Amino acid sequence: MTATEEKRADTEVQAAGESVQPKPEQPNPGQPATMTMTLIQAVNEGMRGELRRDPRVLVFGEDVGARGGVFLATAGLQAEFGERRVFDTPLSEGAIVGAAVGMAVRGLRPIAEIQFADYIGPGFDQLTSQAAKLRYRSGGQFTCPLVIRTPSGGGVKGGHHHSQSPEAYYCHTPGLKVVMPSTPYDALGLLRAAVRGEDPVMFFEPKRLYRAAKGEVPTADYVVELGRAAVRQQGSDISLIGYGGVMPDLQKAAEALAAEGVSAEVIDLRSLVPWDRETVMASAAKTGRVVLVSEAPRIGNFMGEVASSIQEEVFDSLLAPVLQVAGFDTPYPYVQDRIYLPGAGRILNAAVKVLNY
């Protein structure tokens, strides 16, 4: 290629690039300061806002267009932004994840939906071989900022292919970031941070909280930085740490403990990779008693890393072993859906064990 050609090529791309630059988020003076919404509304709002703000953002996946997604997370988006920006794909998770990688390399900001976390499997190689490693393997020459959104977790009596919590697979894949909000506030803030960030992010949405989790959300633009846990309740006697769908159970267990005069600190990790070691260690060091809660099968779940790290780091402060409450090491069952899930009772039991140690 001659120098002139090179110049021309660059200019063309830049021109194309310019036409798709993000606009700064505009404050809207007429708006109230907060709005009440459910977790799924927050996800929907998050995508809508990013689609408005940044023409590089595209939303796609199976049935996300006219259908609005099987949970309606993308409802109304195609109507507002058209089929070029919000579209259905063929039924192939490999194609969906892989396409997101290629788009991101060419400067777009894809948000891809995988219909259920249980169906990432066919896209696993794209995630682990392409998305996770592109920046590293190219020495930073190529990057793929993208978001894979997917409903995960149990409690909807969906059997094992509509209930699994596979986040540990992706936490164990360096190069991917992994988050799981449990509140509308976090869902919106983390989604914005993920879309605006420069890395591939697995965005797990605890489906049983889609409508159950309701809350106030600022109307002004904000982000929730990846890697920061939320202390949901301060406490001094014991730390209950979880993320995703189990959070309401942690809160319930904390209330039951409060009724017995026990002051529990409740921490929502929100972000798994990276995870907030500082907040967790401070809490563990303070209370000396920790219960970790996750609904994923116990062996190899993400809390293994947290437990291992806590005892490595604040061993001397521990007054009792760090206990895990987790899913069972079985495929996710159907009829015993509720027995499988941790639940407040099981958390409370673990807490009592730790307290009486």
Partner 1 sequence: MLEAFPTQPFQVILEDGHLRPGATFDQTPAQLRELWQSMTLVREFDRKLVTLLRQGRTTFYAQASGMEATQIGIARGLRPGHDWVWGYYRDQGIALGLGLSLTDVVAQMVGSNNDLNKGRQMPHHSGSVASRFVSGSSSIASQVPPAVGMAMAQSYLGLDEVTVCTFGDGATSEGDWHAGINMAAVKNAPCLLICENNQWAISTPVERQTRSESIHIKAQAYGMPGYFVDGNDVLAVQQAVKELADGMRNGGGPALLECLTYRVGSHSNADADAEKNYRSREQVRGWTDRDPITRFEKFLALQGQEIGSQERADFVALIHRQIEGAVQQAESSGIPGWQSMLDDVYSDTPVHLRRSYEALRQEQSGQAMQVQEGA
Ligand X SMILES: Cc1ncc(C[n+]2csc(CCOP(=O)(O)OP(=O)(O)O)c2C)c(N)n1
- Interaction with a second copy in 113-152: which residues (CB under 8 A)? 118, 121-122, 124-125, 128-129, 132-133, 136-137
Cβ closest to a second copy, residue 74 vs residue 130: 130
Q: Closest distance between partner 1 and the C-beta of residue 316, in Å?
A: 19
Give dist(CA 162, CA 117) in Å, integer.
8
Site track 236-275 with a second copy (rule: CB under 8 A), x = hit:
-------------------------------------x--
**Does residue number 158 form part of the binding site for a second copy (CB under 8 A)?**
no
Report residue 181: phi and psi, to 5°: -75, 160
- Say which DSSP state 16 is in: H
Which of 159, 218, 300, 304 touches partner 1 (CB under 8 A)?
159
Which of these, 315, 74, 80, 50, lies nearest to 191 by C-alpha position? 50
Residue 108 interface partner, choices ligand X, a second copy, partner 1, none, CB cut-off 5-8 Å depending on type: partner 1
Q: Radius of gyration of the chain from Cα atoms?
A: 21
Give dist(CA 289, CA 40) in Å, integer.
34
**Does residue number 11 form part of the binding site for partner 1 (CB under 8 A)?**
no
**Does residue number 311 form part of the binding site for partner 1 (CB under 8 A)?**
no
| Cβ contact 85:120 at 8 Å | no
- What one-letter code names the amino acid at 9? A
Site track 89-118 with a second copy (rule: CB under 8 A), x = hit:
-----------------------------x
Give dist(CA 201, CA 330) in Å, integer.
27
Give dist(CA 201, CA 203) in Å, integer.
6
Helix (H, G, I), strand (E, B), or coil: what is residue 302? helix
**Does residue number 321 form part of the binding site for partner 1 (CB under 8 A)?**
no
Residue 22 interface partner, choices partner 1, ligand X, a second copy, none, CB cut-off 5-8 Å depending on type: none
CA quadruple 85, 86, 90, 93: dihedral positive or negative?
positive
Cβ closest to a second copy, residue 169 vs residue 203: 169
Q: Closest distance between a second copy and the C-beta of residue 171, in Å?
A: 5
Residues classed as catalytic: 162
